Structure formats: C-alpha cells, structure tokens
Structure 1
Amino acid sequence: MTSVPTADAGSDHAASPAFPDSIDVGYERAQTLGAIRSHHFNAAGSALPPAPVVSRVIAHLRLEEEIGGYEAAARARDEVEDVYSAAAQLLGARADEIALFDSASTGLRVLLDALAPAPGTRLVASRSTYVSHALHLMTMNRATEVELVVAPTDEGRRISIEALDEMLSDGRPTIVTVAHVPTSSGLVEPAAEVGRVAGKHGATYILDATQSVGQLDIDVKAIGCHVLATTGRKFLRAPRGTALAYVDAAFAAEHLPTAPDVRGAQWHSAFDWEVAAGARRFETWEANVAARLGMGVALRQAITRGMPATEVWLSETASDIREALRKIPGVTVADPVGAHAAIVTFVIDAVAPAQVVSELAAKQISAVSVPATHGQWDLGDRGIPSVVRISPHVYNDQNDVDALISSIAAISAGEAGTA
C-alpha cells in the first residue's frame, strides 16, 4: 500500500500522491477528535464530524437555551438560507431546487409519493437499493397497480445500460430509482448513463445518493436525475438527523406533496390552499435548526476541500485496503469486480462478520457488519448472509490502515485479543 497518506506529526501537511496539495490529512485529523482516540472506519454509517460542525451545533443550542427556539431560529435565518446555497453549489443545482429533511429515507418517501404513479406504471429499481427504499417500493407495488422490476445487471453487478435501454423502449410510464453506491459494497452505479437512457425514453429518474454525496464529485445536471436524496451523517460529516434532496425545478412544478405542511403551503381560504414554488413545497415546518446549521458547515467544508480531490483520495485509499485484504489468508473481499467507492466489504473464513466487528472494536477500530436483510437484491441475491464493511474518510492515515490490516490478519489467523 502506497497511496494512503500518513499524518506526519512533524509536518502540517500530508497528502495523496494523486493530489499532493489537495487533501491535508494532518489538518483533517487535527479537527476531528475521534480520529486521535480510535481508528474510525465507519464513514458509510456515520462519519466523525469535524470540530467546527460540532461547535456550530452547540452554539445554536446554547442560544436556544438563552432566548428560545423560535427566537434563535430567527437570528440564524440567513445562515439557514446558506445551507440551501451550499447544497446547491456542491451538487451543481440551484438553491430553489434544494429541500431539507431529517433523513434521506424521508426525502425519498415524500418525493416518490408525490409522483403518485398511475396504475400500470413500472418501477425499475437497482439491485443496489437499500432496504428502507426497497420496502417502500414493494409496499407501493403490493398496494397499487404498479409493477416493480429489479433492473438487469452486467458482469460487475451494475445496472446494464443496454438492457435498461431495451426495457424502456416500450414506452411504458416508468420510474427508475437507483442507489448510486449501495450500503453493501463499493460498487458505483453508472448514474449519468442511467440518466441518459431515462431521458431518452421520458422516464422519471430518482437517485439515492445516501452513500455517494460527500465521497463522489456529483453534478445533478450532468447525471440527469429528477430527484436526488442524501443524508448528512455519512460522507458529508454532518450531524445525524439531517438530510437534503435535489428536486429538479420542472419536477417540483408538476408534482404536489401528498401531505402539504405550513412550511411549504399557505392556507388562504376556508377550503383552499397554495403550495410554495420550488423544492421547499415538500418540506415540513419542524426541524432541528442546530443540526441544519451544522450541516451547512459540513457542506462548506466539503466544497473547500474539493470533491474531485476527495473522490480520488477516498477511492485510492479504499483500493489499497482491498489490495491488502486480498493478501491475508482466509479473507475474501466481497465487493463486485470493478468496485471503487470508499466502501470495502469482506468476510473471514469461519468467523461471523458480527464477531469480526466485535473483535475490531476491542482494538478501538470501528467497522460494521451489514446483513443481507439490508440488501436482499444484492447480498441476498449473491447468497451472502452478511459482510464486514470498512469505510474510510479523509481523517484516516496510514497508522489507521496499518492497525486495521494487522488486526484483521490476526483475527483471520485465530489470534483473538492480539494486535
């Protein structure tokens, strides 16, 4: 392994070979308390937030304590507005095309329901679909006269663009929904190619970017999706309970929320109301203002760090981890061929993933096990009951990676309790 940078205590700059002046790992670690207390490899679950994010949340809570929640929100109004601008800048959108939610699952549910698919509509979902969204799709399929189809895949288990093109050529009303990066592997779906095919055939395109925003450089206009939803807590390093969605302006204008709220609608006569323009028509009034302000800081940090550099650094780091794991006897990397996102999955012969995670935790290494129940169309389809998931971020250095690899080797060798 050569491309994972080490934070050098004698230097204020540590960098990736591909972008020697782009990712300052020493700086990222210095502002990340958890990075010096453990080896954290769970960015795909909930990344370590940087100190400025935490400080902003606490400061607003203190203001609420002092003057009240409504009054504190009024003072922060301009900064909250900047959250929309920052999200738009990160995604290549307009501020009026951004909606804020408490979770990506909420955003996906609200926006899919707003489509109100008519009987005979076809729902085409990627095998990479996460359990929460899959359950919604299956419920919609069971409760209404819509068809649910799992999209055909290629040899790398990505959506087959050729097969999708052929499928959509019949002209049926179709909603295509894709998980950009799944919870269960480092696969990256061909999002822009899906967008080209969906646009060609007039299909509606929803992108679940829960695991990609913050690690991949994303331009929604280039991708061609009508809707993108993501969480704050993962690779964006924002607080839990935050999320955002991009809603194409034309899509927003044509669709209404199924449960309008005072945030996105005005009740102007006894039995009539008018919804707001833009993506905010899908929002609700109540929100954790402190957490949203923290997300704004996280968004600005991601923009400043630079997403092209971040994407390459994370991809190379994950690639090095996969390469190292493949050299350990008894360890099998579970990622599909060609996977290159900052999520690495593996199994160890005769050691349950949950036990691996427990033994790693005893060595201050954070990882998670992902069961097939979180991705039946992926792990279940492959006959894999569960995997160990590793997901690095820019605060991980070579010492972290060395500790991870040596610990996994020890577990595989049956050396429980050893480094």
Structure 2
Amino acid sequence: MNLDAIRRDTPGCSDKIFLNSAGSSLMPKPVVERIVEYLYEEQELGGHTTAEKNIEPINAFYEQAAKLINSKPSNIAFTNSATDGYAKALSSISFKDGDCIITTNDDYISNHIAFISLQRRYRIKVIRAVNMPDNELDLAYFEHLIQKHRPKLIAVTHIPTNSGLIQNVEGVGKLCKQYDILYLVDACQSVGQLVVDVTKMNCDFLTATGRKFIRGPRGTGFLYVSDYVLAQKMAPLFLDSNGAEWTAFDHYQLSETAKRFEFFERSNASLLGLTVALKYANAIGMINIENYNRKLSETLRTHLLDNGFRILDKGNQLSSIITFCEQDGKIDTIQKIIKENNIIFKVNNKNGALIDFTLKNVDQAIRLSPHYFNTMEEIEKVSAMLKL
C-alpha cells in the first residue's frame, strides 16, 4: 500500500481526522471525477445515448464487484443500497404461514424491521439465536434450531453496525449447506473493509453498500445471487424490463443472470463511480486493506482501553468498528473533545441496536471506524486527546 498516494487521492482527509467509514466513507478523487465526467456526457447527449456509449464501462461494474467477493459477473446485481438488495432478496422467497427465519441478536436494525414486517404479513416465526458468553455465535445451538424448526431462511449480518464484532458467517454457511437452507448475509460493513469470499460463506444472497468501506458514492450497492437461486428461477416480487423479457401477453422470461434483481432506471453515473471505487480497492488488494485496518483498529482499541474507557466490542474476531463510552455509560465528555478537535465520528443510539445495547445496559456509544487512508499518527493523536 502506498499510503501517501492514497491520501493524495483523498482530499477529505487533509484537514480533519475522518473516522466514520462505517457510516459513509471518503470517496477517492478518481471516483468523483468519473461521476462528474459521466454527468457532463448526459448533459450533452441525454441519459439513453450516454448509456449506450458506455456499455463496456458499465459492464465493468459486474466484473469488479465479482472480483472483490470471488464471484462471477453473472451473479452480481447493481442496487441502490444494501437495504434495496436485501429487500429484493427477501421478496424472492415464497414465505407462507408458519415458515421460520433464524437470525441473530446482532443483525442490522433494518433487517430486524423487515423480519417483523414479514412476521406480521405472513405470520412467520422469527427466531434469534443466542450467543455464547464471548459473544460468538453458538453453532451447536444454531444446528439445534435448524433441526427443530426447519427454517425457510437463515440471515446473518457479517459485521453489525453497532459493535466491532465479526460474526462467524462461514460456520453458519456450512450448516445451511448441510441442511439445504437459504442463506442471506448482510455484508454492508465488511465488503471493502476485509476479505469477503462468497464461496467460503456458502451464501445464497449477499448484500453490500457502496458508501461505506468500499468508498463509493451514496445511492449505490450490489447484491450477490448464487447459481442455485438463479437455477431455481427465484426472482424479486416486482420485476421490470431489465429483469425479464415480455414474451407474450401473459408471460415473461426471466433474465438468466442476477440482473433479474435490477430495475432499468438507475444512476449510471453513480454506478460508474462505484465501479472506480471497486477497482481502486481491488488494485490495492483486500488482504492488504484488511491487514492495515486491523493494525489501526487494534491500536485504537488498546489505547482507549488503557485510557479508562468502556469498550463495548465483544468477540474473538473484531473489526475496524470501535464502540465505547465512559465507565458510567455517558458519552458527553468524549463527544465534546472529539467535536472540538475536528474528528468526524458517529454516535450510535440504543434504538439502532436495541437488543445489543439493552444487554450492555447503555443508551449511546461513540463509534470510530478507521480505514486504510488513515495513518497510525492519527490514531495516536486521537488516543492522546481522549485521556481521561
């Protein structure tokens, strides 16, 4: 990694310490330049003609996304967000009264709300697997739940937004494959932060967003769809001319690829910006990004612990998301210091992590999420500021 070159490509890190990549990261200059260039083309030629001229660059999106997660371009669909992809994946599953979804206490807020919505509409059961004392998923209990309830779907968030936990999605994937259960992974916080390999996860769906650790524009994301799902002719509830061909008055033919999960209307400027961001990460190498991010986060977490803060992250594998507060659960003093020193950060509230924060008996936490454009000097500087 050439950190100097990366920081030159990241103007947003020149006048502040940016530690909110888990919220919405800083785009590299080439990403923004490509978006603007395309918009100028649309200004001159209109949207349709510009899209026709850029078919090859647009198709490169599928190649770069597939490369990032060890997939094939035919398994990738562009989405407007991770939640957009998640909703489309859920809508492709034919739930009926009495079906069961198994998930975790640490799944993302929007996912829990979606499950509750399905529960109300289809009267399905939603079961949350318990964690072991070290906060790791209890795979033996997972298997017990599978044998008892025969779920229609298992859904796990790889890295929760409210803590540094990295969940054992590969272990769950082995169980799903063994028992032939559909498996949905929310990789919103992991893709772009660390190595993600869908072949090792054995997942049927995986969702990702562009705006976080991938460093792409807002309003972008992608959905991975397995060959199994495609072969089963599964498709989102609502299709348009991008996902299917109208072949007779009362018939349509599905796209053979994951593009059946796309809509025709989208921002191609944003898609091309995401393509550049994906290519940028692929060029650096995800293993390099993961290793450097681990050094940054481990150093920051250790310093904060030494400074007397309560670290809320639990688990044997921790990510580049650090959540903490004072020993009494307050964050006011921390927040004041961080704001005064021009550090970009995030406050996580209890209603965004209701189960996790209830179990930890906190209402709020400071979340810092360093990424590979940050320096160790910045980590040391923040740590020095936050000495109680």
SS of residue in 1 equivalent to 2:155: strand
The aligned counterpart of 1:297 is 276
CA distances 1:84-118 after superposition (whole Å, capped 9, x unpaired): 01111111111110011001001001111110222
Q: 2:300–2:380: 8 Å Cα contact kept in structure 1?
A: no
Aligned to 2:313, which of 332, 335, 347? Answer: 335
3-state SS in 1 of match to 2:386: helix
Q: Where does 1:196-235 land on structure 2 (aligned, <5 Å)?
A: 196-235=174-213
Q: State the TM-score, normalized to the length of structure 2.
A: 0.96
**How far does residue 299 in structure 1 lie from its aligned partner after superposition?**
0.7
1:325, CA displacement in angstroms? 0.3
Which residue does 1:271 correspond to in 2?
A: 250
Residues 15-66 of structure 1 show CA distances to partners (whole Å, capped at 9, x for unaligned) of xxxxxxxx22212111100111110000100111111111111111111112
2:298 aligned with 1:309: no
Alignment of 1:140-289 (within 5 A): 140-170=118-148, 172-254=150-232, 255-289=234-268
- The Cα shift of 1:351 comes to 7.5
Query: In structure 1, what is the Cα distance between the partners aligned to 2:333 and 2:47?
Result: 44
How far is 1:322 from its partner? 0.5
For the residue of structure 2 that corresponds to 1:84, the secondary structure is helix
- Which residue identity lines up with residue 327 of structure 1 in the other structure? D
- Report if aligned partners of 1:103, 1:231 keep a CA contact under 8 Å in 2: yes
Cα offset, 1:120, TM superposition: 2.1
Show the 5 A alignment for 1:315-330. Answer: 315-329=294-308
Deviation at 1:355, TM superposition (A): 6.3
Structure 1 contact 84–98 (Cα < 8 Å) conserved: yes
How big is the shift at 1:171? 6.4
Question: CA separation in 1, counterparts of 2:20 and 2:333?
Answer: 16
Offset from partner CA, 1:351-385 (integer Å, 9 cap, x none) = 84366345413311011011121121222333221
Q: Which residue number in structure 1 is paired with residue 344 of structure 2? A: 366
Quick one: distance in 2 between partners of 1:354 and 1:248? 46
CA RMSD of aligned residues (A): 1.5
Give how far 1:152 is off.
1.6
Report the CA distance between 1:206 and its aligned residue: 0.3
Q: 1:53 to 1:354 in 2, by over 3 A?
A: farther
Aligned-residue sequence identity (percent) comes to 27
Taking the aligned partners of 2:210 and 2:332, their CA distance within structure 1 comes to: 26
**Partner Cα distance (1:334, 1:161) in 2:** 23
SS of 2:362's equivalent in the other structure is: coil
Helix, strand or coil for the counterpart of 1:178? strand
Query: How far apart are residue 403 of structure 1 and its match?
Result: 2.5
User: Which residue of structure 2 lines up, in the alignment, with residue 118 of structure 1?
Assistant: 96
Deviations 1:126-153 (A, max 9, x none): 2221111110001111221210011121
C-alpha distance in 1 between matches for 2:285 and 2:130: 34
Structure 2: distance between partners of 1:353 and 1:370: 11
Range with greater deviation from structure 2 (397-406 or 126-135):
397-406
Whether the 8 Å CA contact 1:103–1:244 is kept in 2: the answer is yes
Distance 1:172 1:391, change over 3 A: same
1:30 paired residue number: 8
- Provide closer, same or farther for how the CA distance between residues 407 and 351 of structure 1 changes in structure 2, counting only shifts above 3 A: farther
**1:300-345 CA-partner distances (Å, limit 9, x unpaired):** 111111111211111121011010001113x111111434211011
Match of 2:20 among 42, 60, 76: 42
In the alignment, which residue of structure 2 is the partner of 1:9? none
In 1, distance between residues paired with 2:260 and 2:189?
Answer: 25
TM-score, with normalisation over the residues of structure 1?
0.89
